[in-house]
Amino acid sequence: MHSEEIEVRTGSSEVVHDLTGECERFLRSAGAEDGLLNVWVPHATAGLAVIETGAGSDHDLLAALHDLLPADDRWRHRHGSPGHGRDHVLPALVPPYASVPVLGGRMALGTWQSVCLVDTNGDNPVRRVRLSYLAG
């Protein structure tokens, strides 16, 4: 197994951050052939999604999450910025992990798929992401 932790600066606003390039770089450095890439976010307020980016789907995801998890005072978890409790519910809907098959050293993603970090928590502008490659 080959593993590496990267740092991602998400800033203070909601974001869908494309990790695909970082994942590809990691697989090259690991000398990957066939196996499995596991991506893990060790945070209670962020998740990972395999989604199309650049055509508005990333913004649609954030809008849908805003509808499902509004940043208001309904949440019992109340520290941090207003509505922060919703950020702690996010990983139940957008899990903190993703596993992607690797074939011939490349992720076996569909044409429009990207591996993305989903972060709605403006209180934590820096995230860690653990990339692990397991050879098949």
DSSP one-letter string for 20-74: HHHHHHHHHHTT--SEEEEEE---TTEEEEEE--SSSHHHHHHHHHHHHS-SSTT
Report the amino acid identity of residue 40. Answer: W
pLDDT at 101: 98
Per the CATH hierarchy, to which homologous superfamily does domain 2-135 belong? YjbQ-like (2.60.120.460)
CA atoms of 68 and 29, how far apart (whole Å): 39
Average pLDDT over residues 10-38: 96
Cα of first residue to Cα of last residue in the chain, in angstroms, is 10
pLDDT at 108: 98
pLDDT in tens, 75-91: 888 787 878 889 999 99
pLDDT in tens, 42-98: 999 999 999 999 899 999 999 999 999 998 888 888 787 878 889 999 999 999 999
- Residues 123/113, Cβ–Cβ less than 8 Å: no
